[in-house]
Structure 1
Amino acid sequence: MRLLGGERLDGKRFLDIGSGSGFHSLAALRLGAREVVAVDIDADSVATTHAVLSRFFPQGPWRCQEKSVFELKLEEWGDFDVVYSWGVLHHTGDLDRALECAARMVLSGGLFLCAIYRRVWLDPFWRWEKRWYSKASPTAQVWARKIYVGLFWLRLLVTGRRFSDYVGNYRDKRGMDFYHDVHDWMGGWPYESRGPEELLAKMQTLGFASVRVFAYRGRWLGRSLGVVGSGCDEFVFRRG
């Protein structure tokens, strides 16, 4: 609702690229979408999306399928009033092409909603870490997570926050366990990021105008240091 500016989706077709748990597809259905199509490259995520939608919105109209963003074809799927992809396209290995493939599924006048990892100064380190972590042994991964959690605890301490409070409220905020999210962040490979200006320029070349942007501006030349990682900036574009 925040990304949509408070508007509903009554009568609109909604494409969820990288559906994950299926909660975003469910939200679209509850906001009145006339059809929801959910795709994910991961078979477990597709099964989870199917289970969630079957349980909480059994009457449809929805469908989910195992599919990569690079495999989406306009002639097969048709175009959509809203294309949504939160925290996904930066893990495809080719962010620019992923944006192009997702954007072409938006009908004229439609919306493209996405969340992309923001640029941080430690991006080179995180690219190295994620590549290493994805191939590391389980034991090495455990020790890497312990170091990360220690740094995170120190960061909260310095900023006057309690680690126990942060972790205790984490599931309500993010929908997953804190320690699982650490594993998810550290192993998120491939990894790319973009600054807001870079993404806006890219989308302009694809015929989109910016509607709203939720971006964090760091203290160091407009960029966060990124000691414990990078969050996502969120964007809403309209196709001309």
Structure 2
Amino acid sequence: MIDCETEINQGRRFAFGRNWLRFGQLIDEERIAHARRSLEKALGTHDLTGRTFLDVGCGSGLFSLAALRMGARVRSFDYDADSVNAAEKVRREFAPDGDWSICRGSVLDTAFVQQVGRADIVYSWGVLHHTGALWAAMEAACGLVAPGGTLYVSIYNDQGAESRMWTSVKRRYNKSGPVARRMLLTGSVLYLGRHYPARAALSLAKRAQGTAEASVPRPRGMSRKHDLVDWVGGYPFEVASPEEVFTFCRERGFELRHLKTCRGGIGCNEFVFAGPVAGG
């Protein structure tokens, strides 16, 4: 396996796991409830009893925990060792006796993916576009879905020139030192808030700097501060239009069941697909 830490030290990859470890300190029952509700809404069910849930790129482990609370048998993996540590910490704190396994691995590692095996629900929210090989990662994720199962993914929206601009920002962030990173973060916050009223833009900046406002959960239970850092630093970075994701999955026998777009703007488009049945 390619050394994730080496990639980070060389400025070729954002330290996603370090960010998740910091976010993990904020996880509480309120955030877990937010995460669970978002899963329930997208999957169209409150009960995953008897179903297997595979979290590809588990990050903090928050959504693995939410699936576990819904009754699923959960398997999680992540390429970043710090993310694995973050998820293990959440498991120890909130589900020490739960049916939940966590390991380190890459969705691009064919031998590893074969060992993982298929699952009823394959979940990968905001992950595959950070692998450096989006469509190969999508292919692997599709292959992990058990016959008649569910694929739940979110992929950054393709904004054309603006996406290319953000790719440049992210690349520069990861090759910069602490001072330059703070400057890029501040500049990005001001850019993102340029159309907001002055008070709202100031609030956004405060959240990015880690004030108490950052502790307010977002709809999925996430943290605005940590999401901002992830957005500015998140590299590798690839994007796709909703049509590209839909076509890719349809060609592999998947049928769209749920779609939530970012309305052509910044952020992720969210998809839930029903997988082909055996022999289909």
Measured against the shorter chain, the TM-score band is 0.7 to 0.9
Q: Partner residue of 2:124?
A: 85
- Of 81, 100, 111 in structure 2, the residue corresponding to residue 43 of structure 1 is 81
Q: Partner residue of 2:238?
A: 192
How far 1:15 moved relative to its partner? Answer: 0.3
SS in structure 1 at match of 2:149: strand
Q: What amino acid is aligned across from residue 56 of structure 2 in structure 1?
A: I
How far 1:74 moved relative to its partner? Answer: 5.7
After TM superposition, the structure 1 stretch with the greater mean CA deviation from structure 2, 168-177 or 82-91, is 168-177
In terms of fraction of residues, the more helix-rich structure is 2
Q: Partner residue of 1:129?
A: 169
Q: 1:175 to 1:7 in 2, by over 3 A?
A: closer
How far 1:61 moved relative to its partner? Answer: 0.9
How far 1:140 moved relative to its partner? Answer: 1.4
Q: Partner residue of 1:207?
A: 253
String of CA shifts for 1:77-136, please: whole Å, max 9, x gaps. Answer: 221100000100000001000001111010110000011101113111111111121112
Aligned partners of 2:217 and 2:223 also within 8 Å = no
Q: Partner residue of 2:42?
A: 3
Q: Partner residue of 1:30?
A: 69
Q: 1:112 to 1:138 in 2, by over 3 A?
A: same
Q: What is the CA–CA distance in structure 2 between the aligned matches of 1:112 and 1:127, rounded to whole Å?
A: 27
Q: What is the CA–CA distance in structure 1 between the aligned matches of 2:158 and 2:94, rounded to whole Å?
A: 37
- Of 229, 232, 235 in structure 1, the residue corresponding to residue 271 of structure 2 is 235
- Of 114, 118, 123 in structure 1, the residue corresponding to residue 153 of structure 2 is 114
Q: Partner residue of 1:172?
A: 217
- Normalising by the residue count of structure 1, what TM-score does the alignment of the two structures yield? 0.87
Q: Does 1:76 align with 2:120?
A: no
- Normalising by the residue count of structure 2, what TM-score does the alignment of the two structures yield? 0.75
How far 1:146 moved relative to its partner? Answer: 1.8
How far 1:6 moved relative to its partner? Answer: 2.9
- Of 46, 49, 64 in structure 1, the residue corresponding to residue 102 of structure 2 is 64
Q: 1:88 to 1:8 in 2, by over 3 A?
A: same
Aligned partners of 1:156 and 1:163 also within 8 Å = no
After TM superposition, the structure 1 stretch with the greater mean CA deviation from structure 2, 117-126 or 95-104, is 117-126
Q: What is the CA–CA distance in structure 1 between the aligned matches of 2:217 and 2:94, rounded to whole Å?
A: 19
Alignment size in residue pairs:
228
Q: 1:238 to 1:63 in 2, by over 3 A?
A: same
CA RMSD of aligned residues (A): 2.1
- Of 35, 53, 66 in structure 1, the residue corresponding to residue 91 of structure 2 is 53
SS in structure 2 at match of 1:113: strand
String of CA shifts for 1:160-187, please: whole Å, max 9, x gaps. Answer: 8464389426641165554443322111
Q: Partner residue of 2:23?
A: none
Consecutive unaligned residues of structure 1, counting only runs of 5 or more, are 219-223, 225-229
Q: What amino acid is aligned across from residue 238 of structure 1 in structure 2?
A: A
After TM superposition, the structure 1 stretch with the greater mean CA deviation from structure 2, 175-184 or 75-84, is 175-184
SS in structure 2 at match of 1:233: strand
Q: Does 1:152 align with 2:197?
A: no
Aligned identity (percent) is 39
Consecutive unaligned residues of structure 2, counting only runs of 5 or more, are 1-39, 208-212
Q: What is the CA–CA distance in structure 2 between the aligned matches of 1:183 and 1:136, rounded to whole Å?
A: 14
String of CA shifts for 1:184-233, please: whole Å, max 9, x gaps. Answer: 21111111111111100001122211111111333xxxxx3xxxxx2111
Q: What is the CA–CA distance in structure 2 between the aligned matches of 1:37 and 1:81, rounded to whole Å?
A: 11
Q: Partner residue of 1:221?
A: none
After TM superposition, the structure 1 stretch with the greater mean CA deviation from structure 2, 86-95 or 1-10, is 1-10
